[in-house]
Structure 1
Amino acid sequence: MTKAKTHFVCQACGYQAPKWLGRCPGCQEWNTFAEERLIEEKVPGRDLLGFESEAVPTPITEIVDVERGRFQIGLGEFDRVLGGGIVFGSVILVGGDPGIGKSTLLLQVMNRLASKGKKVLYISGEESLQQTKMRADRLGVSSEHLFV
């Protein structure tokens, strides 16, 4: 897939700018900028998790099944619900009613990961840093690998 990009080039010195300028900062000449279009060829690649960066509809019969490993957390029921642990490269959405224990459970999961030397980032859109710290203290969660 191609993407057109425009920039402006001074015809006197070659200075490049993202927008048209009356006077060139490079050579101080006036009215020397001309618009040029660059076409960047986007190279298909993979993202950080190993998935293709652009989704293309593919017949299910043409998909090669690749077994991805699992990472066991060490919380029996949590690992069981996930079929034996977290699948590498997966995203897990945890939902439930307010106050049911989602944040507590996930903070415990993050602590288990951190205690195994994994760097973990705990993100919350509902709790302040102080609230998260209070919950962590209550649960005995403390690790230099756990970031909030």
Structure 2
Amino acid sequence: MVAGEKFCHGDWSKIKNKYSSFDDGQLLLFCFSSAYIIALLHDTLKMPLDHKRIDVVNQIHGVPVDWALGAFIVQTTMNRTEYSDSSVSYLNSYDSPGLVPLLFIIVVVFTALSILRWRKPRLKTIYDMEKGRYIITRVSQ
């Protein structure tokens, strides 16, 4: 991380002279890449910043490594739960196609019942002893 910051925050005229074989776009891409790599490894894959077991390569078995391949690797490793909490890994591993619709139906039913209960008129029942019958009146809310 320090190397990327040192490179990107340095004097651009000195950097351009030192790396004259690269154009401005490539140098800016190096700065972006250094920040992207840190975000990918630390924030997405949850690797500690002082992790020592990372090898940087340009090719794997003669195939150039590009960010498209990197994105594919990230997508395939997102289901791995090596660095996550056990409760989160249980939720990630529980893959039921009926769970989401069931939760949706429960929320809709609960909402409908809450609205019906809220809109239901409040009534008070009184027994009139003189007339010998019940009188139902509405109570103001």
Higher RCO (C-alpha 8 Å, min separation 6): 1
Q: Which has the higher strand share?
A: 1
The structure number with the bigger radius of gyration is: 2
Quick check: which one's helix share is greater? 2
Provide the TM-score with structure 1 as the length reference. Answer: 0.21
